[in-house]
Amino acid sequence: MADFPTTPKPVYPIEEMPIAPEVLLTTFRDGTEQRRLKGTGKKRLFKLKFGGAMPITTGEKTSLQAHYNGQNGLLTSFNWTHPETAEVIKVRYASTPSFELVAFNFYNGTVELQEVPA
């Protein structure tokens, strides 16, 4: 299994959004309810930002795009190490990475990673 590139480092803050579990709710005629968990479902979503006060270079941007292409976009999962906790998390891309050119050879970018069940 591939690993997310270690460089460039994302800038803080790193957004971490817990995803509510999907629950199937059935209401019966007498008013009672039955609730069931629809599998393990989605877990956490991480939004990483690159650049900011210190934009990334074209080479670093190309490295991130090559990793995305190597994972067949949103298809394949890979390991990502959380920069604060050093926890290795199995993730996939939640959306296509986006980059903006802020100066010659310098970019800001955003990458969203979705935790997947192990």
DSSP secondary structure code for residue 20 in this structure: P
| Structural domain includes residue 74 | yes
Residue 14: how many CB atoms within 10 A of its CB?
A: 14
Residues spanned by the domain of 30 = 11-115
| Structural domain includes residue 3 | no
Helix (H) or strand (E) holding 69: helix 58-70
| Structural domain includes residue 5 | no
| Structural domain includes residue 95 | yes
| Structural domain includes residue 68 | yes
| Structural domain includes residue 81 | yes
Instruction: pLDDT tens for the chain, 118 residues: list them.
Output: 788 888 888 998 989 988 777 788 999 999 999 988 877 666 899 999 998 888 999 999 999 999 999 999 899 999 999 988 889 999 999 999 999 999 899 999 999 999 988 7
Predicted TM-score (pTM) of this structure: 0.78
Q: Where are the beta strands (DSSP E) in the chain?
A: 11-18, 23-27, 33-37, 44-50, 56-57, 78-81, 88-93, 98-103, 106-115
* Amino acid residing at 114: Q
> So what's the pLDDT on residue 41?
63
| Structural domain includes residue 90 | yes
> So what's the pLDDT on residue 98?
95
Burial 44-82 (b: 16+ CB within 10 A, else e): ebbbbebbeeebbeeebbebbeebeeebeeeeebbebee
**In the chain, how many domains are there?**
1
Cα separation, 9 vs 51, in Å, equals: 9
Query: What CATH code is carried by the domain that includes residue 111?
Result: 2.40.30
| Structural domain includes residue 6 | no
